[in-house]
Amino acid sequence: MKVRIGDQDALIVVDMQKDFMPGGALPVPDGDKIVPRLNEYIEMFEKRGLPVFFTRDWHPENHISFKGHGGVWPPHCVQNTEGAMFHDDLRMPLDNKFIISKGTSPDFDAYSGFQGTVLESLLKERGVKRVFVGGVATDYCVKNTVLGALNLGFEALLLLDGIKGVDVRPGDSEKAIELMLEKGAVGIEIGDLTG
Ligand code: VGL
Ligand code: ZN
């Protein structure tokens, strides 16, 4: 599968925040291991002047997804806390970079970067037709962001070497990948990129 990055492409990096990394409040095993690879993808977009979107979970401290507030997760990615910050080594372009906060109001959760955000309109007003998606967690926010993109009419390339899952039930990430591919996403790795 050879892919050439072009001017209708954008990169979406999902939820690479400290709370989702080993040692964080809701750790994704080996979540930190994909940082170098994601940085390579980010650099390729940055060099071409193409937009890079960083989604982040950005919850109030009484968020509905938290245990004790009706949800199943330990409190995580609380607005303005250290755990909500991006991984220190994640490459942040100076230009053409967008931070998309989701799950920001107490009573709504959002696993998709498109849910309750301006992501779709920012992509469409830039003429983006195809999104490359990596980050965490494969079985939650990556899955829902990819499915959201497909539903909205974008082509979606799943960065197979730039995702990690939580696997609350063993096999969840594998199943999520199968579902994304079945729905029309195309799985790629860094070696598939040309030019
Ligand atoms: C996520 C669980 C809860 C994710 C966010 O980013 O995949 N997972 N909140
Ligand atoms: Zn969350």
What total number of domains does the chain contain?
Answer: 1
Distance from Cα 4 to the centre of ligand 1, integer Å: 30
Average pLDDT over residues 138-164: 98
Average pLDDT, the chain: 97
* For ligand 1, mutation pick of 12, 13, 14, 15 (most atoms within 8 Å of CB): 15
For ligand 1, whether the C-beta of 139 sits within 6 Å is no
Shortest-distance Cα residue to atom 6 of ligand 1: 141
- The share of the chain scoring above pLDDT 70, in percent, equals 100
* 73 pocket-lining for ligand 1 (C-beta < 6 Å): yes
Residues 6+ positions from 166 with CB-CB distance below 8 Å: 26, 28, 29, 136, 137, 138, 139, 140, 172, 173
* Cβ-contact 147, 176 below 8 angstroms: no
CA 94, 30, 169 angle in degrees (round to 5)? 125
- In this prediction, residue 168 carries a pLDDT of 94
In which residue are the tokens 């899952």 written?
Answer: 165
Atom of ligand 1 nearest to the CA of 141: 7
In this predicted structure, what is the pLDDT of residue 136? 98
Full domain range(s) for residue 28: 3-194
pLDDT attached to residue 16: 98
Mutation probe of ligand 1 site: the residue of 86, 140, 172, 180 with most atoms within 8 A of C-beta: 140
Per-residue pLDDT at 61: 97
Residues whose CB falls within 8 Å of the CB of residue 125, separated by 6 or more in sequence, listed in order:
none
Q: Could you tell me the CATH number of the domain that includes residue 142? A: 3.40.50.850
| The pLDDT value given to residue 24 | 98
Q: What is the pLDDT of residue 129?
A: 98
Instruction: Measure the CA–CA gap between 81 and 75, rounded to whole angstroms.
Output: 11
What is the arithmetic mean of pLDDT over 92-109? Answer: 97
Q: Which residues pair with 194 in a beta bridge?
A: 4
Question: Which residue numbers are catalytic?
Answer: 15, 102, 141
Residue pair 3/193 in contact (Cβ under 8 Å)? The answer is: yes
Q: Is any atom of ligand 1 closer than 6 Å to the C-beta of 140?
A: yes
Q: What is the pLDDT of residue 42?
A: 98
pLDDT of 1 strictly over 90: no
Question: CA 150, 48, 32, 190: dihedral to nearest 10 degrees?
Answer: 70
Residue where the block lists tokens 């790629």: 188
Confidence of residue 195 (pLDDT cuts 50, 70, 90): confident
Structure tokens at 18: 């400290």
Residue with CA at minimum distance from ligand 1 atom 3 = 73
Instruction: Provide mean pLDDT across the span 40-68.
Output: 97
For the cut 80, the answer to whether the pLDDT of residue 92 exceeds it is yes
pLDDT confidence of residue 190 = 98
**Chain-centroid distance, C-alpha 182:** 19
Residue nearest to atom 8 of ligand 1 (CA): 140
Render pLDDT for 17-51 as a digit per residue (tens, 0 to 9). 999 999 999 999 999 999 999 999 999 999 999 99
